[in-house]
């Protein structure tokens, strides 16, 4: 059966704490920490972007899959921070891992669910028999305007998934997508920072689509929350995934392994895919895992996965997500963070 044959993560080592951001804006840090359930977030270095993180995550996925990159038939990066408006990210990734030239490549964008979109299409092509291996990556160096509530969470990270038919680590049992036109968050061309609809991003947006997709896929697969070992939801802040889990009948312990947001922030297209890499890191053969992404605009993609014996062979072949999150941390002051995030513009 088709499924994930390799997975990998990439998380920058820089962090900035909520207190450090709140200090600059005269905001009440405890209120933000309590309201968002976020303590700190990752920050990309000046030489890190969606492409470099995609390369690192994919190399980790390749280590676990142990395949020849030249056999990858499709490469899709989902992101809302592709370094170029015109010029693909995927070609750089394809070249960097040695997958060119016999490969189909495209860049995806759908707010925070572009990553699972790439995974969805890569998996679909493998299942259709059109390609041997497919690669789907979710990566972002997310933007949040200085002083906006988003600045406390907008983070950076990437997760990569290789799909194939043999040596499968996690079989894809079911897929499902739930989409409506719901404008809760957007960025127009030539705008540097996104805008959002405040509380409108909650009930009619995040919660409606995630519950819609989760109920849809569980119904299709004939599963109840109790049949599922672990569940990952998109993590724009700490509270939303815990609340949507409760609404759907999941216990906190089913959510926690993939709940990285309190130390990582919201990595947008990388958010739920990174929750899944962290969850696979601790999964046992036979575990059923549900992932439901969310992208503003709006839609959710769901996958039901069944972990195989192969997980025990590949788990340690590349860095685990919680290790990347917890080790070798470099805390930034706001000034350096502002420089790294290009919030300071030097004279020409």
Partner 1 sequence: MREVAVIGVGMNKWGELWEKSLRHVFTEAAILALDDAGVDKIDSMIVGCMSSGLFVGQEHISSLLADYLGQVPVPAARVESACASGGLALRMGWIEVASGLSDVVLVGGVEKMTDVNGNEATYALGTAADQEYECYHGITFPGLFALMARAHMEKYGTTREQLAMVAVKNHDNGSLNPLAQYPFKTCVEAVLSSVMVADPLRILDCSPITDGAAALILCPVDLAKKLKKPIVKITASGMATDTIALSSRREITWIESTYQAAKRAYAMAGKKAEDIDVVEVHDCFTIAEICVMEALGLVEKGKGGKAVEEGLTALQGKIPVNTSGGLKAKGHPVGATGVAQAIEIVKQLREEAGPRQVKGAKVGLTQNMGGSGGSSIVHIFERG
CB 149, min distance to partner 1, A: 9
Q: Helix 271-282 and helix 114-128: axis angle, to 10°?
A: 60
Q: Give the range of 37-45, 94-102, 159-167, 194-202 binding partner 1 by CB under 8 A.
A: 194-202
Q: Give the range of 2-10, 199-207, 244-252, 306-314 binding partner 1 by CB under 8 A.
A: 199-207
203 binds partner 1 (CB under 8 A): yes
d(CA 30, CA 47): 32
Q: In the window 35-64, what residues touch partner 1 (CB under 8 A)?
A: 35
Handedness of CA 234, 236, 242, 245 (dihedral sign): negative
Residue 180 vs 330, nearer CB to partner 1? 180
34 binds partner 1 (CB under 8 A): yes
d(CA 174, CA 306): 10
CB 207, min distance to partner 1, A: 12
**Cβ 52 vs Cβ 164: under 8 Å:** no
Residue 31 vs 330, nearer CB to partner 1? 31
| Site size for partner 1 (CB under 8 A) | 10
Residue 31 vs 191, nearer CB to partner 1? 31
Q: Which of 23, 31, 247, 327 binds partner 1 (CB under 8 A)?
A: 31
Q: Which of 88, 146, 204, 225 binds partner 1 (CB under 8 A)?
A: 204
Residue 88 vs 197, nearer CB to partner 1? 197
d(CA 1, CA 172): 8
CB 202, min distance to partner 1, A: 9
Residue 25 vs 200, nearer CB to partner 1? 200
Separation of CA 209 from chain center? 17
- Of 175, 68, 81, the residue nearest 120 (C-alpha): 175
CB 75, min distance to partner 1, A: 38
Q: Give the range of 139-147, 193-201, 235-243, 251-259 binding partner 1 by CB under 8 A.
A: 193-201
Residue 35 vs 146, nearer CB to partner 1? 35
The binding track of 102-141 with respect to partner 1, each residue x by CB under 8 A or -, is: ----------------------------------------
d(CA 74, CA 132): 9
**DSSP strand pairing (330-331 vs 14-17):** parallel
- Of 222, 281, 214, the residue nearest 241 (C-alpha): 214
Q: What is the spatial order of strands in the sheet that 133-141 belongs to? A: 104-108, 72-78, 133-141, 156-164, 3-10, 170-182, 297-307, 288-292, 230-233
Q: Give the range of 153-161, 196-204, 220-228, 315-323 binding partner 1 by CB under 8 A.
A: 196-204
Q: In the window 228-247, what residues touch partner 1 (CB under 8 A)?
A: none
- Of 266, 299, 313, 310, the residue nearest 120 (C-alpha): 299
Rounded alpha-carbon distances, angstroms, from residue 317 to 6, 34, 139: 10, 37, 21
**Cβ 212 vs Cβ 178: under 8 Å:** yes
Q: Which of 25, 193, 200, 334 binds partner 1 (CB under 8 A)?
A: 200
Q: Would you state the structure tokens that stand for residue 61, as one six-digit string?
A: 């996925």
CB 342, min distance to partner 1, A: 25
DSSP state of 129: T
CB 242, min distance to partner 1, A: 18
Hey, which residues are catalytic here? 80, 112, 234
- Of 161, 164, 163, 142, the residue nearest 153 (C-alpha): 142
Q: Which of 199, 284, 327, 339 binds partner 1 (CB under 8 A)?
A: 199
Residues near partner 1, by CB under 8 A? 28, 31, 34-35, 197-200, 203-204
């Amino acid at each position: 059966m088709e499924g994930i044959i390799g997975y990998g993560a990439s998380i920058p080592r820089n962090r900035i704490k909520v207190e450090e951001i709140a200090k600059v804006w005269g905001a009440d840090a405890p209120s933000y920490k309590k309201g968002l359930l976020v303590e700190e977030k990752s920050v990309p270095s000046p030489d890190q972007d969606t492409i470099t993180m995609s390369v690192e995550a994919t190399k980790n996925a390749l280590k676990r899959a142990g395949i020849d990159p030249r056999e990858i038939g499709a490469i899709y990066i989902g992101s809302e921070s592709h370094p170029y408006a015109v010029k693909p990210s995927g070609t750089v990734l394809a070249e960097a891992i040695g997958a060119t030239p016999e490969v189909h490549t495209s860049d995806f964008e759908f707010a925070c669910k572009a990553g699972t979109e790439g995974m969805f299409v890569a998996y679909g092509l493998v299942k259709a028999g059109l390609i041997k291996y497919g690669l789907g990556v979710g990566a972002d160096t997310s933007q949040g305007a200085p002083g906006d509530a988003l600045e406390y969470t907008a983070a950076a990270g990437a997760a990569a998934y290789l799909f194939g038919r043999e040596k499968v680590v996690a079989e894809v049992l079911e897929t499902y997508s739930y989409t409506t036109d719901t404008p809760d968050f957007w960025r127009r061309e030539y705008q540097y920072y996104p805008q959002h609809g405040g509380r409108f991003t909650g009930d009619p947006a995040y919660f409606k689509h995630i519950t819609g997709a989760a109920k849809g896929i569980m119904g299709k697969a004939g599963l109840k929350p109790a049949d599922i070992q672990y569940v990952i939801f998109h993590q724009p802040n700490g509270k939303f995934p815990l609340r949507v889990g409760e609404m759907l009948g999941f216990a906190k312990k089913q959510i926690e392994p993939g709940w990285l947001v309190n130390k990582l922030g919201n990595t947008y297209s990388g958010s739920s895919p990174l929750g899944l890499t962290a969850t696979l890191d601790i999964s046992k053969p036979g575990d059923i895992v549900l992932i439901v992404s969310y992208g503003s605009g709006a839609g959710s993609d769901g996958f039901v996965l069944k972990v195989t014996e192969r997980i025990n062979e590949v788990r340690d072949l590349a860095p685990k997500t919680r290790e990347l999150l917890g080790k070798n941390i470099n805390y930034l002051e706001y000034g350096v963070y502002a420089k790294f995030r290009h919030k300071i513009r030097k004279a020409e």
